[in-house]
Structure 1
Amino acid sequence: MKPLRLTALGLIGIVLGLLGFAAAHLSDRAGASTPVLPYSALGSMAVIAVFTLALGIRVLRWRNEETRKTMVDPIFAARTLVLAHACAYAGAVLLGWHAGVLADQIPVWAARATSPVVLQAVAMMGGGVVMIAIGLLVERFCKIPPEDNDEGESDTAPKRKTGDAEGGYARCADRGSSAAGGEAR
């Protein structure tokens, strides 16, 4: 899997910001309610973020062990990485959408500064930032540091192309054939 790119997350945020702005503007013109998530969505976002962080910490603990008595299940590590990416992308979507809604509310900000719509949008933007941060952090937890041995490069380590970042993600092939027959934990 390729690492997350901040430019991709930023682009997603900008596109969804424009869509959120347009949706808020159209809903105001139609007399409908402004399209923001309710405060209860913060609870769901917190559960997802905490769950992602807990799984990432489990992979980090395995990665930082000096003597690896048991192998981490490679499917577990891969799923944790995918969850971290999904968390970051969802955070970018939520941040962008609600920033667009908030931008639409700027002309009437003075009259409705404590409006529930403004406060909800700001809260959702904060939740989006937290989800992005946790996604990026857990992605770093899932990276395997490069192995050093007497010969310079490990024979079980995957061959890297020029320009790849140091280390890779946790994969079954990174630890040799014992990972395939190892105990899943």
Structure 2
Amino acid sequence: MRAQRIPWWYYVTAMAVGLGAGAAVAYFGEGFAGVSLIGAPWIVSALLVVLGVVVLTLALQVHRYATTDPRKRTAFFDPLRAVYALVLSKALAIAGATLAGWYGGQILVVITHAEAPYYTTVLIECAVTAVICLIDMVIGIIGEWLCQLPPDEGAEHPRVAGVSGRRSVTPAATRVRH
């Protein structure tokens, strides 16, 4: 399996879509439904922080295992766990960008009513959650980078060849060409 890095413009697009959707919900929400859908409960912010910490921890474990000398590895590391860490990092990055746009869009609409106590609370909630979402986006991007495998050094590289560091040299004329 060969995973590709997420292009930078995916994050910009996700943030723009979230910004538009968040602003639309904040603008039209109270007028049509009579129920306010703006703001973010504090539990959402707490869960986003926990999710960011979990993803960063998983990505660091994958990076530590991938960059450890193969001769010094003491434990087995499940490759499926590494794939999960990569997928979670990618998902966190895109979701963080989208949610940062969502809460940013709500801030843009609500900021005109900042003098009202309800809207002041909503502004604070959205601002805190938007910052946490931006941090989660960055954690996802870093986690994606941490889950990269180092370049394949091949069987003849001194680190992989053996404990003594010596490698057997086969003359070019005797190598089999495929």
Q: Does 1:106 align with 2:105?
A: no
> For 2:10 and 2:139, how far apart are their aligned partners in 1?
16
2:39–2:122 CA contact under 8 A, matched in 1: yes
Matched letter for residue 65 of structure 1: T
Q: In the alignment, what sits opposite 1:171?
A: none
Q: Structure 2 unaligned runs (5+)?
A: 158-178
Q: In the alignment, what sits opposite 2:42?
A: 39
Aligned equivalent of 1:83, options 82, 88, 91: 88
Between the aligned residues of both structures, percent identity stands at: 25
Q: In the alignment, what sits opposite 2:9?
A: 7
Q: In the alignment, what sits opposite 1:52?
A: 55
1:112-159 CA-to-partner distances (Å, cap 9, x unmatched) read 48711000110110111111011011111110121345879xxxxxxx
Q: Does 1:137 align with 2:145?
A: no
Q: In the alignment, what sits opposite 1:27?
A: 29
2:39–2:123 CA contact under 8 A, matched in 1: no
Q: 1:36 Cα deviation (Å)?
A: 2.2
Q: TM-score, normalised by structure 2?
A: 0.76
- Deviating runs (4+, > 6 A) in structure 1? none
Aligned equivalent of 1:65, options 65, 68, 78: 68
2:20–2:102 CA contact under 8 A, matched in 1: yes
> For 1:112 and 1:6, how far apart are their aligned partners in 2?
38
Q: In the alignment, what sits opposite 1:179?
A: none
- The structure number with the bigger radius of gyration is 2
CA RMSD of aligned residues (A): 2.1
1:52–1:84 CA contact under 8 A, matched in 2: yes
Choose 95-104 or 1-10, whichever is displaced more: 1-10
> For 1:36 and 1:9, how far apart are their aligned partners in 2?
22
Q: TM-score, normalised by structure 1?
A: 0.74
- Identify the structure with the greater helix proportion: 2
1:15–1:96 CA contact under 8 A, matched in 2: yes
Q: In the alignment, what sits opposite 1:176?
A: none
Q: Structure 1 unaligned runs (5+)?
A: 153-185
> For 1:106 and 1:118, how far apart are their aligned partners in 2?
7
> For 1:101 and 1:129, how far apart are their aligned partners in 2?
15
